[in-house]
Amino acid sequence: MTSGPSRAPAIGVAEAKRRFSELLDRVGAGERIVVARRGHPAVVLVPATSETLETGNNAPVGLAAVAGALAEWEDLEAVVEEVYAARRDASDRPAPDLQ
């Protein structure tokens, strides 16, 4: 996935998952990274600052904020099934049995 010269680099969700630790290092060094789903920007990884960590209104941050977003995501079940199907077909390691 590419980005324009003045935009943050874009990376697909699957690649972001594979390279998450590396992306955290890059963001920690000040880089902004766009994570895209199906070619459309979904989230932007940005360095944490005291301003982003102290919201002042007790808004959820981190994984708590994600939980609220997931509750409203209509396609979540289909996306989870896609992930399971991809893992079943992967040959690099066995898919976990989550049943």
Give the model confidence (pLDDT) of 73-82 as tens digits.
Answer: 778 888 888 8
> Residue 95 falls within a domain, yes or no?
no
Q: How many domains does the chain have?
A: 2
Taking CA atoms, 46 is separated from 10, 23, 42, 75, 97, in Å, by: 13, 10, 13, 26, 34
Cα–Cα distance list, 69 to 22, 63, 74 (Å): 25, 10, 10
Does 99 fall in a domain? Answer: no
Query: Both 1 and 43 in a single domain?
Result: yes
Same domain, 2 and 32: yes
More confident residue, 93 or 44: 44
Task: Tell me which residue range forms the domain holding 20.
Answer: 1-47
> Is 43 found in the same domain as 60?
no
Has residue 18 been placed in a domain?
yes
User: Domain check: are 3 and 40 in the same one?
Assistant: yes
Give residue-wise pLDDT tens across range 18-75: 999 999 999 989 888 999 988 888 888 888 876 666 655 556 556 666 666 666 677 8
